[in-house]
Amino acid sequence: MFTRREYREQRRYRSDPSEPYWKQRGWQVSAAFLGVVVLLSGIVALTAGRGTADDGASSPPSKGPLSGSPAMKDGRPDGCRTDDRNGAVMPTAPPDDVDWRALGVTRVPVSASAGPTLTQGPVWWCFAHTPIGAVLAAHIIPSHMSGPDWRTIAQEQVVAGPGRDLFVFKRSTVRDDAPGSTTDTGSRPDSGSASGSRPDAGSGGSSTASYAGFSVPAYSGSAATVELLLKTGQGYATTSVALRWSGGDWKVQPSGNGALHTPVKAVQGTNGHLIWGV
Beta bridge partners of 100: 109
What is the C-alpha to C-alpha distance for residues 96 and 111, in angstroms, rounded to an integer? Answer: 8
Q: Model confidence over 211-231: pLDDT tens digits?
A: 999 999 999 999 999 999 999
Q: Model confidence over 114-141: pLDDT tens digits?
A: 999 999 999 999 999 999 999 999 999 9
Q: Are 139 and 211 in contact (CB under 8 A)?
A: yes
CA distances from residue 61 to 67, 137, 254, 277 in whole angstroms, order as listed: 10, 20, 18, 36
What is the C-alpha to C-alpha distance for residues 156 and 251, in angstroms, rounded to an integer? Answer: 8
For 131, the 3-state DSSP assignment is helix
Asked if residue 57 has pLDDT above 90, the reply is no
Asked if residue 243 has pLDDT above 90, the reply is yes
